[in-house]
């Protein structure tokens, strides 16, 4: 899965057109490791692309830029602007209800 670093963002904007769902995660996080296969299963399930915002480096500016406290954290972007966010929970990460909230948020209006 494609990993995005700080260069893919301009401030809090994603430098890509279309709709993207980004899972901010870190390789050292056990909740991220169990979450990412479920996240990858979203590929092709809707009119959006998916990628990982790589926070493995604890000094990455993306931690502060997106005020990430817990990984994984999901952010959906449309035309570069954040339209949905779901933060992970300490000791639990993200789960099925979070995916359902994402799917609902991405429904065409």
Query: For position 35, which CATH number holds?
Result: 3.40.30.10
State which residues form the domain around 39. 3-91
| Under 8 Å between Cβ of 102 and 86 | yes
Per-residue pLDDT tens over the stretch 3-50? 999 999 999 999 999 999 999 999 999 999 999 999 999 998 888 999
Q: Is the pTM of this model over 0.75?
A: yes
Number of domains in the chain: 1
Measured CA to CA, the distance from residue 64 to residue 20 in angstroms comes to 20
CA distance to 5, 22, 24, per residue, from 2 (Å):
10, 10, 12
Per-residue confidence (pLDDT) for residue 108, from 0 to 100: 74
Q: What are 70-97's pLDDT values in tens digits?
A: 999 999 999 999 999 999 998 888 988 9
Quick check: is 34 in a domain? yes
Evaluate the omega torsion of the peptide bond into residue 72 and state whether it is cis, within 30 degrees of 0. Answer: yes
CA pair distance 39, 77, nearest whole angstrom: 16
Is residue 76 assigned to a domain?
yes
């Amino acid at each position: 899965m494609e990993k995005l670093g700080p260069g893919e963002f301009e401030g809090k904007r994603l430098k890509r057109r279309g709709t993207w769902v980004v899972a901010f995660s870190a390789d050292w996080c056990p909740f991220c490791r169990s979450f990412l296969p479920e996240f990858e299963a979203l590929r092709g399930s809707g009119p959006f692309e998916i990628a990982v915002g790589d926070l493995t480096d604890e000094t990455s500016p993306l931690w502060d830029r997106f005020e990430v406290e817990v990984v994984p954290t999901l952010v959906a972007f449309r035309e570069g602007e954040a339209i949905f966010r779901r933060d992970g929970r300490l000791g639990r990460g993200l789960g099925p209800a979070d995916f359902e909230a994402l799917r609902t948020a991405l429904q065409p209006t």
